[in-house]
Chains A and B, each alone.
Chain A
Amino acid sequence: MSHPQEITDEYRFYLLRKRLAENLILGAFRGFRREGIEPILIKGWAADRNYPASRPRFFGDIDLAVSAADFDAARKLISSGSTIGGVDLHRELEHLDTLGWESLISNSQVVKLEGEDIRILCAEDHLRVMCVHWLTDGGERRERLWDIFYAVQNRPAEFDWSKCVDVVSETRRQWIITSIGIAHKYLDLDLSGIPFAEEARDLPVWLTRCLEREWARNLEIRPLHSQLKYPLGLLRQVRKRIPPNPIQATINCEGDFRKRTRVGYQIRDMFKRILPGIKRISNTIVEKPS
């Protein structure tokens, strides 16, 4: 691994975190495989592989997806006090992608980490998943837009765009193209050689307004129940949710970015969230945290 000429404390910290994540990844893959479970690593370390060595990308827990059939066993294994720790477990790719698990597995690739085979998504599937994940957060994590930037900029020579965008619905295809367009607009991602470059440049005005508002506000969304002890924080979080983030609402309702209005999605999204939100809050109150 090559390092920047001047090593800063931030970079040192990044190296340690990366090492830490690699230890978690190795522990998880070894632990799961011993039980016959084959996971796929997404985001985090897999996204970091696209970054230049000198550009720190901070990550903590590791995102592993397992088949629906293995999910319960995998969850049990994690909670049994095994060596597997720091894992955010996904039941297949849930809402992040619509391609079947079998296809994702057969497209996936294996990379080496200290001699261990680490299964990751192929570049096309991974870019698609990262785009949807970024939008799921309402685009509020500007820093994570770099994941999309580097995944496109440093894509392998054999990268097949049709394998990336033409295997999902037209709605989702638009989501991916829009995310790439956002990386172009705000991070100056080079779109030359991309078959849908013109489409990507044509971003809906409401969407860019929403992003700029979110970034200017600089307030990350946190679960309401995590703020019960902090009235000001709670108030800020409630205000952040009213009205709901239009990007997030559109994604949560499998909606279309080109539709004229967001209101329908926002109302539906709010109703979808109210009940689970109340449940979490009442559970937290009942638990009476110290």
Chain B
Amino acid sequence: MNNSQRPIARKSGLVVQEVPDEVLVYDLESNKAHCLNQSAAMIWKSCDGNNSVSEIAKLVESQAGGKVTEDFVWLAIDQLSENNLLEKPVASSFEGTSRREVIKKIGLASVVAVPVIASLVAPQSALAAASCTCVNPPSCSNTPNLGCPSTTRCNSSGLCAP
């Protein structure tokens, strides 16, 4: 585990919306939506390429008002990397340990909510309303930035979706 790494949060190709206690992120490249809880969002915002993992831990600790370990930060970075929310992917720091075990270990020791990044599934009503309608696969590539689940597939319901 290299705690001197200075991860950088990805900014381009994302739509970000803050709501109380969480940050919502839409990835325009993968057409996936994520929900970051407060802890994950704080860590993501601290990934500016200047802060090391230890520094991020201290920063988050001062904001969250509870003990934050480097493992805690790594847990968030791991998920951020997996969901392509960092400029460059970061190798998982929990080789040989399942995330569930890590969460259990950190969760028991921490009063601050464990960082979680959840995936959001688009409701069908949203897809139909969003004009994700298509004639054939190429017509899905003509609907950039609409957040349709696919830009290459036109399904049997006439929607740009798998």
A contact residues vs B (CB 8 Å cutoff): 3, 7, 9-10, 12-20, 23-24, 58-61, 85-86, 88, 143, 220, 222-223, 225-227, 229-230, 233, 284, 287, 289-290
Contact = CB atoms under 8 A, between A and B. Distances in A.
B129 A225 contact: no
Interface string B134-154: 111110000111111000000
A3 B147 contact: no
Nearest to A233: B156
B131 A13 contact: no
Contacts of B126: 10, 13-14, 17, 58
Contacts of B156: 230, 233
Among A16, A23, A230, the most chain B Cβ lie within 10 Å of the Cβ of A16
21 contacts: A3-B19, A7-B19, A7-B20, A9-B123, A12-B19, A13-B122, A16-B15, A17-B130, A20-B26, A58-B126, A58-B129, A59-B130, A86-B146, A88-B131, A143-B125, A143-B129, A222-B158, A223-B135, A226-B135, A226-B158, A290-B136
Contact of A226 (B35, B130, B134, B148): B134
Given A13-B122, A58-B130, A19 B15 contact: yes
B19 A23 contact: no
By secondary structure, the A interface counts as: helix
A143 B125 CA distance: 9
Contact of A19 (B16, B137, B143): B16
A19 B17 contact: yes
A233 B17 contact: no
A86 B151 CA distance: 13
B132 A60 contact: yes
B144 to A, nearest CB: 5
A223 to B, nearest CB: 7
Contacts of A85: 144-145
B146 A60 contact: yes
Contacts of B143: 60-61, 86
Nearest to B132: A60
B131 to A, nearest CB: 4
B20 to A, nearest CB: 7
Contacts of A226: 133-136, 158
B16 to A, nearest CB: 7
Contacts of B146: 20, 60-61, 86
B121 A9 contact: yes
Closest 9 CB pairs of A and B: A60-B130, A289-B136, A58-B129, A226-B135, A60-B131, A58-B126, A19-B17, A16-B26, A61-B131
